[in-house]
Amino acid sequence: MGEILGIGLTHYPPFMAPDEDLLIPLRRTLARDERVPAEMKDPATWPEPMRAEFGTDEGYTAAVQHRERLVPGFRKLRAEIDAFAPDLVLIWGDDQYENFREDIIPPFCVLAYEAMECRPFTLAGGGYRRNAWQEPADKIFPYRGHAEAARYLVSELIEDGCDMAYAYRPLHEPGLAHAFMNTLLFLDYDRKGFNYPIVPFAVNCYGSKVISNRGGVLPHKVNGNYLPNDPPGPSPKRCMEIGAATVRALQNSPWRVALIASSSWSHAFLTAKHHWMWPDLEADRKLFEALRGGNYETWRQVTTTEIEASGQQELLNWMCLAGAMEVLNYKVEIVDYVETYVLNSNKCLAVFRP
């Protein structure tokens, strides 16, 4: 019987860059997002905690403190994985117009790759992406896949009534989409190496925005017009069903598996009711309290409409993990839960065990 460990974390992109590069999401929004009403650019109109967090340095101190608080959590999660010693690591992550584009957008896809090579610090057109580790542009991060386990999982999911897409090689992204890549880099923050075989499990979290935003934080324009919304992603309920079916399959396998959900929670740039400036703290708190109390029915009742209204699209990755942990009746240890008005997204780090 396969044994399971559950992990939840964030793949927050600004952590990839040095804090001094000032990749403060609110600064970017104020400078670039034409949808923000002029009056909302005045800090006097903001919630008081938001003004305090932005401070006199436009969020720089907050960004430094954000990293200082979360990096120890990454180390704690890595220690949990090492102690568990999995045969493979399965990661539920979103694809933001990286591997999947106009030619196909599957709701879910198991990536049954034999091996992956990632170059996270090489820009798409060549050149160097500055990074928090001061590593060179040509640094290659090789990862092993587990094609046998991926094929087994897809077969079992199909047998369990979950029609599942799969792929043996990349389509548009030669390595891994950033949700997977950042997760691996954060879990290896101290660069000890990450040698566990990986099974990436892509979820179409962005749904109605996946093509219309073309992977960016701003909606894309063609001839001066915004692109129409795309069809929605899978529902939260369906993601929980997929997670439940995944854990049933893996329980009957010979492998020890760490199941990882990687995402921040609500995102400011997806939250129209807050003028795309700050995340939905109230919606996140409701789900956080339900998670902490083991109340998965609250998660199951969330609708796609509610997800999109609260900018919680990436939480579909966590919905998969929640469905799995509900089947196992695991207890959750909250490693950290961090709220922010300025740094785009609230973040939760958690471990799930028997």
pLDDT at 36: 97
Task: Indicate whether 275 belongs to any domain.
Answer: no
Task: Indicate whether 281 belongs to any domain.
Answer: no
Alpha-carbon span 175 to 98, nearest angstrom? 10
Task: Indicate whether 17 belongs to any domain.
Answer: yes
Mean pLDDT, to the nearest integer, of 271-287?
98
Task: Report the run of H or E that residue 118 belongs to, with start and end.
Answer: strand 115-118
Alpha-carbon span 26 to 31, nearest angstrom? 9
User: Please, where are the H alpha helices in the chain?
Assistant: 25-32, 48-54, 60-84, 147-159, 178-187, 236-251, 281-292, 296-300, 304-309, 315-328
Task: Indicate whether 249 belongs to any domain.
Answer: yes
> What is the number of domains present in the chain?
1
Alpha-carbon span 99 to 322, nearest angstrom? 25
Task: Name the token pair of 321.
Answer: 């993990």
pLDDT at position 127 over 90: no
Domain containing 152: what range? 4-264+294-345
- Tens of pLDDT, residue by residue over 76-111, are 999 999 999 999 999 999 999 999 999 999 999 999
Alpha-carbon span 80 to 353, nearest angstrom? 10
Instruction: Count other C-beta atoms under 10 Å from residue 163's C-beta.
Output: 9
Cα→Cα distances 66→4, 286, 296, 313, Å: 30, 22, 28, 22
DSSP sequence for 334-349: EEEEE--SSSSB-EEE
Q: Are 81 and 196 in contact (CB under 8 A)?
A: yes
Task: Indicate whether 117 belongs to any domain.
Answer: yes
Task: Name the token pair of 227.
Answer: 């692109």
Task: Indicate whether 46 belongs to any domain.
Answer: yes
Least confident of 33-37, 126-130, 297-301, 348-352: 126-130
3-state secondary structure of 267: strand
pLDDT at 39: 97
3-state secondary structure of 141: strand
Q: Are 214 and 100 in contact (CB under 8 A)?
A: no
Find the CATH number of the domain harbouring 217: 3.40.830.10
pLDDT at 124: 80
- Tens of pLDDT, residue by residue over 6-25, are 999 999 999 999 999 999 99
Mean pLDDT score across all residues of the chain = 97
Task: Indicate whether 278 belongs to any domain.
Answer: no
Cα→Cα distances 316→92, 122, 194, 266, Å: 9, 29, 25, 11
What are the φ/ψ torsions at residue 37 (nearest 5 degrees)? -60, 145
- Tens of pLDDT, residue by residue over 193-225, are 999 999 999 999 999 999 999 888 988 888 888
DSSP sequence for 287-305: HHHHHHTT-HHHHHT--HH
- Tens of pLDDT, residue by residue over 18-48, are 999 999 999 999 999 999 999 999 999 999 9
State the pLDDT confidence band at 162, using cuts at 50, 70 and 90. Answer: very high
DSSP state of 128: B
- Tens of pLDDT, residue by residue over 47-62, are 999 999 999 999 999 9
Q: Are 77 and 9 in contact (CB under 8 A)?
A: yes
Nearest to 277 by CA among 51, 103, 8, 77: 51
Which is it for strands 225-226 and 165-167: parallel, antiparallel or unpaired?
unpaired
Mean pLDDT, to the nearest integer, of 141-145?
98
Task: Indicate whether 287 belongs to any domain.
Answer: no
